[in-house]
Amino acid sequence: MRGADDDRARFVVVGHAGRDLVLEVGGLPEAGGSTEVRRRIERLGGKGASIAVGLRQLAPEAEVVLVAALGDDDAGARAVEEARALGVGTARLARRGTTALLVDVVDDGERRLLEDVTDASLVTVADVEVAAGDIRAADLLVLQLQQPVGALLAAARIAADAGVPVLLDGAVEGDARDALVGMAAAVRADAAEAELLLGRPIESRLDAEAAAASLLERGPRLVALAAEDGDVVAWHGGARWFPHGDAPVVDPTGAGDAFVAGIAVGLVRGDALEEVGGLGAAAATAAVQRLGGHPELAGVEPERGERAARPQGGER
Amino acid sequence: MRGADDDRARFVVVGHAGRDLVLEVGGLPEAGGSTEVRRRIERLGGKGASIAVGLRQLAPEAEVVLVAALGDDDAGARAVEEARALGVGTARLARRGTTALLVDVVDDGERRLLEDVTDASLVTVADVEVAAGDIRAADLLVLQLQQPVGALLAAARIAADAGVPVLLDGAVEGDARDALVGMAAAVRADAAEAELLLGRPIESRLDAEAAAASLLERGPRLVALAAEDGDVVAWHGGARWFPHGDAPVVDPTGAGDAFVAGIAVGLVRGDALEEVGGLGAAAATAAVQRLGGHPELAGVEPERGERAARPQGGER
């Protein structure tokens, strides 16, 4: 937990980092054909990096340490420089192999991802152990779950032993799932991930609310789940529904990462749990209105949301 | 023409250069979905650069000067280094703006190109004027026609005034078309480009042979045109048909560039025109069996081809 000599909020994010290449096109070419790229953005990417950047934007005073692996190449060097320039702590960024490349082809607000997630870009147990001191000193550990289970469990255990709350983003399958959810203070998942966590499809708002109630019974004090047309945020004794707004979606990439950053900041600030979800929803709304998944979240105000249709688990 | 003190063949290529990003995937994702990249190649690209590299591979003793424009950025610096390492003369490479990016998504032997051809990457009249001395000293000028017409005409006129033969690759429309074809020693075009040159569709082998005969009447002494299933190469008094082989196509990118390099080398070496086409066809065949459009052409032997079905223009 934070030291007496420094009252800045401290976040550690364990997750993926790489290079994003965003290509905006006006329609995909047929096989054998070609199309013009209207806009091209190249920059630091990966869900871990995106969450870390969002945290710094929403909480400019906070210390944010990113635990991730970049390549021992030019692209990796540029990504480290960019993370530093955005205020993200880079001391726990491993450097090895080839930097991952995430190509995001955006066509009329819909995206297709072509992902070259190199083996070297996955976080290892050793990467986590190097960051153990940072995790123990954190106010919140964010675990982006698209990483090897061994590294995730190692990080969660270090946090649990030190009393540091853990926020999970995404899903894993198998035994690790129950262990991680059991150690989590908060869980955020999109519809496909929630299906993995619960073993049943999440289609409607009512499905999401029922799923959130069921996850709350496993230990977390906050659960945020996405359905097709909005997000439910539930806690013991209450829940709110944040419908997706009518604003046009430029690029859905990064909405989930921004949502995670929002609830992470709200939790550490000690906001009412109702407000925590509102900040996540507002950050996600801001993210989808920009091309390329990098948020611009400074100054975002919490959304209000609606009372959930279904009662959630009892007060704790 | 080549100086008495140096009997190396000299080629100048005016065309496009940039960065190629080749992504091999197993099926394209649906909107909202993602797919894994199986193989990724990043390197020097663009049709001008590809032709220049092919020339050096087919004629390792030759001097090849590339007239093109790369960005004043990291990608441009890497592209210049790569061209130099491949033996291409880089003294006439302009550096300005942002390097073009050509993304080649290859799925089961079919490609889709997403092209960010930056304005800065197009060759200007000034770029050509800087290279005037190289053009005058060349044995052959290769003009890749996907460039501004003013620069193409300027280069063709410098060559014509110095008695340097010109090989055109591709097509342009309007007045410049007749001027360029009239100055050309040889013309190479794919089916779509031949349609632009002639104003009628090229579908069958017979269409291509008829189109080649018609272009020969406008001045060139060699015309090579692609149809769907092969290439026709015609000269005054003869023609051959080079059917596409049965070898599986890994990536069709670069086949035309390799074809151009083959006929350029054959023409400068003074091969029989029948052999010239065979070297082009063999180079194209080699190119389609590699991912990413960079040829590996050293040691390619001319294909034999078949007698054309249709008699060509009279002997000259």
List, in order, residues 6 or more apart from A83 with CB less than 8 Å away. Answer: A17, A44, A49, A52, A53, A66, A90, A93
The Cα–Cα gap between B19 and B7 comes to 33
Distance, in angstroms, between B25 CA and closest chain A CA?
8
Location of structure tokens 């960051």 = A131
Average pLDDT, integer, range A35-49: 95
Chain A contact for B40 (CB, 8 A cutoff): yes
Alpha helices in chain B (DSSP H): 47-58, 74-85, 125-130, 132-136, 149-162, 175-183, 191-198, 205-216, 255-269, 273-287
Query: What percentage of chain A exceeds 90 in pLDDT?
Result: 73
List A residues 203-242 in contact with B (Cβ-Cβ < 8 A).
none
Q: Distance (Å, rounded) from C-alpha B239 to C-alpha A219?
A: 79
> Which residues on B lie below 8 Å from A34 (Cβ)?
112-115
- Digit-coded pLDDT (tens) for B221-239: 999 999 888 899 999 989 9
Does A192 lie at the interface with B, CB-CB under 8 angstroms? Answer: no
Contact yes or no for B114 and A78 at CB 8 A: no
Q: Give yes or no for residue A313 having a pLDDT over 60.
A: no
Question: Taking CB atoms and an 8 Å limit, are B101 and A37 in contact across chains?
Answer: yes
Q: Please report the residues numbered 238 through 297 in chain B whose beta carbons come closer than 8 angstroms to any beta carbon of chain A.
A: 252
B60 exposed, middle or buried (CB, 10 Å; 0-12, 13-18, 19+)? exposed
Q: Is the pLDDT of residue A296 over 80?
A: no
Q: Which two tokens stand for residue B34?
A: 């993602």
H or E element in which residue A135 lies: helix A132-136
**Average confidence score pLDDT of chain B:** 90
Give the one of A112, A116, A252 whose C-beta lies nearest to B28's C-beta. A112
* pLDDT (tens digit per residue) in A157-178: 999 999 999 999 999 988 899 9
- Per-residue confidence (pLDDT) for residue B311, from 0 to 100: 53
Chain B residues inside the 8 Å CB shell of A117: 36
pLDDT tens digits, one per residue of A236-259: 989 999 998 777 777 677 889 999
Summarised one tens digit per residue, pLDDT across range B112-160 is 999 999 999 999 999 999 999 999 999 999 999 999 999 999 999 999 9
Choice among A21-25, A62-66, B37-41, B285-289 with the minimum mean pLDDT: B285-289
Tell me which residue has tokens 């262990």: A179
A95-118 residue pLDDT tens:
999 999 999 999 988 899 999 999
Residue window 113-172, chain A: list those with CB within 8 Å of chain B: 113-117
* Residue contact B101–A40, C-beta within 8 A: yes
Over 70: is that where the pLDDT of A311 sits? no
B29 CB neighbours in chain A (<8 A) are 112-114
Number of CB pairs, chain A paired with chain B, less than 8 A apart: 84
pLDDT tens-place string over residues B146-196:
999 999 999 999 999 999 999 999 999 888 999 999 999 999 999 889 999
CB contact under 8 A, B115 and A32: no
pLDDT, tens digit, 9 for 90 and up, residues B74-97: 999 999 999 999 999 999 999 999
- Chain B residues touching residue A252 (CB < 8 angstroms): 32
Question: A252 to chain B, minimum CA–CA distance in Å?
Answer: 8
Question: What does the block give as tokens for B186?
Answer: 């040889």
| pTM for this predicted structure | 0.84
Q: What is the mean pLDDT of residues A197-202?
A: 88
Buried b (16+ CB within 10 A) or exposed e, A255-277: bbbbbbbbbbbbbbeebebbbbb
The answer, yes or no, to whether residue B312 has pLDDT greater than 60, is no
Q: Inter-chain contact B37–A103, Cβ cutoff 8 Å?
A: yes
User: Tell me, what's the pLDDT at B4?
Assistant: 47
- State what percent of residues in chain B have pLDDT above 70: 94
Look at residue A21 and tell me whether its pLDDT is greater than 70: yes
- B209-218 CB contacts, 8 Å cutoff, 24+ apart: B209/B234, B209/B239, B209/B241, B209/B308, B209/B309, B209/B310, B209/B312, B210/B310, B212/B239, B212/B312, B213/B239, B213/B310, B213/B312, B213/B313, B215/B181, B215/B187, B216/B312, B216/B313, B217/B313, B218/B178, B218/B181, B218/B182
- Res A42 pLDDT > 70: yes
Which strands, in side-by-side order, build the sheet including A230-235?
A93-95, A63-70, A10-14, A140-144, A166-169, A186-189, A222-227, A230-235, A238-243, A306-307
Question: Of B112, B228, B291, which to mutate for an interface test with A (greatest number of A Cβ within 10 Å)?
Answer: B112
Please give the share of chain B, as a percent, with pLDDT higher than 90: 74
Q: Which of A93-102, B257-266, B294-303 has the lowest mean pLDDT?
A: B294-303
| Selection from A235, A201, A253, A200 nearest residue A308 by Cα | A235
> Which residues in chain B are closer than 8 Å to A22, comparing Cβ atoms?
none
pLDDT of res. A1: 46
